C-alpha cells in the first residue's frame, strides 16, 4: 500500500467512526442535547453522614467550587456578613414600626407576564431574603424528572426556595444545556404553579444586584431518596450581581402568618420539623434531616428553648439570657418587649448588645493575655497572632431560656488574615435596637432541631465533625 492509499484508508475509517457515533446522538432542528446531570462527587478526604442532605463549606475541599480560603476571602465573607445583618435589621425594624417596604424592595408583576415596566403596588411578602450574605454553607438538591442537582445556600432566614433557571420551549431552547441552570421544559413533572401569592417576582438587593423569576411546581429530590412532587419554588431566569456562586437558596425559614404557603414551604412537607448540623472543619461535612428522620438523627437531649413570636414572622426568635466565657457569666438584660434574638444559618458572626460584647471581649482579652495581639480583621476587632503557639482552649456557654449550650472550641474564635491569626468570633451590634443574631459560626457541630408545631428549638452536641 502506497502512502496515498494508506491516507485514504485512515480517512475512511475515521469517517465511519464519526458516522457510527452520531447514531447514538439526537440531531435535527430543535433537538436538545442535555448534559448528564450528576451529583457532586465527595472527595475521599471528606467525612460525613451516609444519609441526609449533606452540608459542605463553600471554601472547603468538599465544596463543589474548588475555592481556596485566603485572607482576602475571609475579609470578603465578613463584608458580605455585615451586609446581610444590615438588611435583616432593616427588615425587622420596618416590621416593628409598621413602616412600608423600603424603596427598592420586592415587587410583583401583573398578569404573570415578562414585562418589567408594569408593576403593582409593593407586596408585603418578603419571599426572598434581601441578602444572601456569605452563603458559606451549601447543600445539594435535585429539581425535576430526571433530577438535576444544584448547590443551594442553606438559609433559615428565607422561606422560599429558588434556583437559577432558563424558561424556553422547543427551538428556543439551547442545543446544549447549561449545567448550572434548571430547565422546566426538560422535566417531565414540571407544571405551572398557582399564581397565589405571586406569579412572578422581582427581588432587588441593596448592593444593586437582583433576581427576577416565576414560580414553578415540580418534583424536588431531598437527601437523594425523598422525592417531593408538586413542590413550588421560584425559578430565577434573570440575575445580576454576586450571589456567592450558589445556584440559589434552600429556604428553611418560617412563612408569613398571613399567607398559607402550603407547597411553597419545604419544611411544611415534613410536618414542619427539621434539624441541621453545620460542620466545624472545612474538611468535613454536616447534614440536614427532615420530619421523622430529624427526630431520629437529632435525638432529644432533654432540654429545649421555646420559639417566640418576634417582629419578623419569617425568623426563628429565642430568648438568649446570658453567655459564660471561662468562669465569667455575662447577663443579657431584657426590657420586656418583643424578643430580640434570632438563630440564623445565613449570618456568620454572632451580633451582641454593646454592653454584653464589651464584657465578653474584656474577659477574652484577659484569657488571651499570654499571646501577642494582632490587627483587627474587619468586624472582628479582638485578634491575636498564634504563630509558634498552640491553639487556646476557651470554654463558652450560651444560656437560653431553659437551655444551656456549650460551644465547640472552633466556634469561639475565627481564623483570618492568615491561618495563624485568631479573633474573637463575636461582634458588637451597630444599634442597640438591632437584632441579637446567633450566627452559623457559633452553630458549628451542634444538632439544632426546629420543632415548629411544638414551638421549640432543641440544641445538643452534633456529630458532623
| pLDDT tier, 370 (very low <50, low <70, confident <90, very high otherwise) | very high
Res. 290: pLDDT tops 90: yes
* Average pLDDT of the residues in 292-296: 93
Provide the CB-side half-sphere exposure for 418 (13 A, CA): 10
> CA 53 to CA 138: how far, in whole Å?
10
Catalytic residue among 81, 126, 155, 218: 155
> What confidence score (pLDDT) does residue 27 get?
23
pLDDT at position 376, please?
86
- Residues forming a β-bridge with 405: 398
Average pLDDT over residues 402-408: 95
* Residue 271 annotated in active site: no
Instruction: Provide the percentage of residues in the chain whose pLDDT is more than 90.
Output: 34
Q: How far apart are CA 233 and CA 182, in angstroms?
A: 12
Q: How far apart are CA 414 and CA 381, in angstroms?
A: 11
Instruction: Assign 289 a pLDDT band (cuts: 50, 70, 90).
Output: very high
pTM tops 0.75: yes
Of 262, 230, 256, which is closest to residue 158 (Cα–Cα)? 256
Q: What's the rounded mean pLDDT across residues 331-335?
A: 81
Q: How far apart are CA 248 and CA 163, in angstroms?
A: 4
Q: What is the pLDDT of residues 177-200, one digit of tens each?
A: 678 899 998 899 998 877 544 556
Which stretch, 222-226, 231-235, 282-286, 346-350, has highest mean pLDDT? 346-350
Which triple of cell numbers denotes residue 431? 444599634
Residue 135 has a pLDDT of 74
Joined grid coordinates for residue 308: 417566640
If one compares 435 and 264, the residue with the highest pLDDT of the two is: 435
Q: pLDDT at position 198, please?
A: 54
Q: What is the mean pLDDT of the chain?
A: 76
Q: What is the rounded average pLDDT of the residues 269-282?
A: 87
At residue 259 the predicted structure's pLDDT band, cuts being 50, 70 and 90, is very low
Contact between residue 443 and residue 343 where contact means Cβ atoms under 8 Å apart: yes
Give the closest residue to 69 by CA, choosing from 151, 136, 139. Answer: 136
Task: Answer whether residue 111 shows pLDDT above 50.
Answer: no
Quickly state the pLDDT bin for 95 (edges 50, 70, 90): low
Domains in the chain with CATH codes: 53-288 (2.40.70.10), 300-461 (2.40.70.10)
| pLDDT at residue 203 is higher than 60 | no
pLDDT for the residue 239? 58
Give the tens place of pLDDT for each residue, 299-324: 988 889 999 988 788 899 999 999 99
pLDDT of residue 258: 44
Integer angstrom CA distances of residue 13 from 16, 20, 187, 336: 5, 11, 38, 84
Position 87 pLDDT exceeds 70: yes
Q: List the one residue out of 276, 212, 209, 279 whose CA is nearest residue 57.
A: 279
| Confidence band for 357, pLDDT divided at 50, 70 and 90 | very high
220-224, 348-352, 407-411: which has the minimum mean pLDDT? 220-224
The secondary structure element, H or E, covering residue 14 is: helix 3-22
Among candidate residues 130, 218, 247, 344, the one labeled active-site is 344
Look-up of cell digits 500500500: 1
pLDDT: which is higher, 91 or 17: 91
Strands 426-428 and 350-352: parallel
Residue 103 pLDDT greater than 50, yes or no: no
Cβ pair 135, 209 in contact under 8 A: no
Residue 356's pLDDT band (cuts 50, 70, 90): very high
Please determine, for residue 66, whether its predicted confidence score (pLDDT) is greater than 60: yes
Q: DSSP state, 172?
A: G
Q: What is the mean pLDDT of residues 53-79?
A: 75
Residue 426 pLDDT: 96
Q: Which three cell numbers stand for residue 164?
A: 437559577
Instruction: Write down the pLDDT at residue 292.
Output: 93
What integer is the mean pLDDT of 130-137? 68
Cis peptide leading into residue 142 (ω within 30°): no
Q: Which segments of 136-179 are extended strands (E)?
A: 137-143, 148-155, 162-164
**Percentage of the chain lying above the pLDDT 70 cut:** 67
Average pLDDT over residues 235-261: 69
Average pLDDT over residues 128-143: 74
pLDDT at 406 over 80: yes
DSSP 336: S
Which residues 6+ apart lie within 8 Å of 100 measured at CB?
A: 94, 122
Distance of alpha carbon 118 from alpha carbon 166, whole angstroms: 22
Helices (H), 202-334: 291-297
The DSSP annotation for 38-93 comes to: -PPPPPTT-B--SSSEEEEETTSTTSTT-----HHHHHHHHHHHHHHHHHHHHHHH
Angle, alpha carbons 444-313-333 (nearest 5°): 65
Residue 246 has a pLDDT of 83
Locate cell 445556584: which residue?
247
106-110, 239-243, 246-250: which has the highest mean pLDDT?
246-250
Decide if 126 is catalytic.
Answer: no
Q: What per-residue confidence (pLDDT) applies to 72?
A: 54
pLDDT of residue 373: 93
Residue 232 CA to residue 261 CA, distance in Å, equals: 9
Three-class DSSP labels, 261-281: CHHHCCHHHHCCEEEEEECCC
Under 8 Å between Cβ of 175 and 32:
yes
Q: How far is CA 168 from CA 61, 141, 171, 186, 249, in A?
A: 35, 22, 8, 9, 22
| Mean predicted confidence (pLDDT) in 235-255 | 75
Please tell me the predicted confidence (pLDDT) of residue 335.
Answer: 65
Q: Is the pLDDT of residue 399 over 70?
A: yes
Confidence band of 345 (pLDDT split at 50, 70, 90): very high
C-alpha grid cell, residue 446: 451542634
Confidence of residue 43 (pLDDT cuts 50, 70, 90): low
Amino acid at each position: 500500500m502506497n502512502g496515498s492509499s494508506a491516507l485514504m484508508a485512515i480517512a475512511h475509517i475515521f469517517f465511519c467512526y464519526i458516522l457510527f457515533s452520531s447514531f447514538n446522538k439526537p440531531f435535527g432542528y430543535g433537538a436538545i442535547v442535555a448534559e448528564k446531570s450528576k451529583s457532586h462527587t465527595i472527595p475521599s478526604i471528606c467525612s460525613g453522614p451516609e444519609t441526609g442532605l449533606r452540608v459542605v463549606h463553600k471554601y472547603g475541599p468538599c465544596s463543589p467550587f474548588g475555592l481556596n480560603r485566603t485572607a482576602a476571602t475571609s475579609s470578603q465573607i465578613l463584608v458580605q456578613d455585615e451586609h446581610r445583618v444590615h438588611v435583616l435589621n432593616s427588615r425587622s425594624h420596618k416590621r416593628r414600626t409598621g413602616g412600608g417596604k423600603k424603596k427598592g424592595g420586592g415587587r410583583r408583576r401583573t398578569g404573570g407576564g415578562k414585562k418589567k415596566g408594569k408593576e403593582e403596588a409593593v407586596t408585603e411578602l418578603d419571599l426572598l431574603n434581601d441578602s444572601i450574605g456569605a452563603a458559606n454553607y451549601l447543600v445539594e438538591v435535585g429539581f425535576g424528572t430526571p433530577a438535576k442537582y444544584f448547590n443551594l445556600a442553606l438559609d433559615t432566614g428565607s422561606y422560599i426556595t429558588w434556583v437559577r433557571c432558563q424558561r424556553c420551549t422547543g427551538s428556543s431552547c439551547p442545543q446544549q444545556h447549561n449545567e448550572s441552570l434548571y430547565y422546566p421544559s426538560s422535566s417531565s413533572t414540571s407544571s405551572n404553579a398557582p399564581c397565589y401569592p405571586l406569579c412572578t417576582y422581582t427581588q432587588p438587593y441593596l448592593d444593586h444586584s437582583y433576581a427576577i423569576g416565576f414560580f414553578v411546581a415540580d418534583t424536588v429530590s431531598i437527601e437523594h431518596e425523598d422525592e417531593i412532587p408538586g413542590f413550588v419554588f421560584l425559578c430565577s431566569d434573570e440575575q445580576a450581581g454576586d450571589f456567592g456562586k450558589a445556584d440559589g437558596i434552600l429556604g428553611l425559614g418560617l412563612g408569613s402568618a398571613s399567607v398559607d404557603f402550603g407547597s411553597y414551604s419545604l419544611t411544611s412537607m415534613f410536618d414542619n420539623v427539621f434539624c441541621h448540623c453545620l460542620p466545624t472543619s472545612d474538611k468535613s461535612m454536616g447534614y440536614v434531616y427532615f420530619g421523622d428522620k430529624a427526630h431520629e438523627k437529632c435525638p432529644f437531649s432533654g432540654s429545649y428553648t421555646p420559639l417566640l413570636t418576634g417582629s419578623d414572622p419569617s425568623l426563628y426568635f429565642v430568648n438568649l439570657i446570658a453567655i459564660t466565657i471561662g468562669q465569667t457569666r455575662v447577663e443579657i438584660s431584657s426590657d420586656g418587649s418583643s424578643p430580640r434574638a434570632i438563630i440564623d444559618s445565613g449570618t456568620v458572626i454572632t451580633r451582641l448588645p454593646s454592653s454584653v460584647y464589651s464584657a465578653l471581649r474584656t474577659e477574652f482579652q484577659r484569657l488571651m493575655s499570654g499571646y501577642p495581639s494582632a490587627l483587627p480583621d474587619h468586624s472582628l476587632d479582638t485578634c491575636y497572632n498564634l504563630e509558634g503557639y498552640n491553639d487556646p482552649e476557651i470554654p463558652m456557654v450560651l444560656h437560653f431560656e431553659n437551655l444551656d449550650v456549650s460551644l465547640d472550641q472552633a466556634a469561639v474564635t475565627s481564623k483570618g488574615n492568615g491561618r495563624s491569626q485568631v479573633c474573637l468570633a463575636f461582634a458588637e451590634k451597630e444599634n442597640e435596637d438591632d437584632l441579637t443574631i446567633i450566627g452559623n459560626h457559633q452553630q458549628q457541630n451542634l444538632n439544632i432541631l426546629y420543632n415548629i408545631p411544638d414551638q421549640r428549638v432543641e440544641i445538643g452536641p452534633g456529630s458532623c465533625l
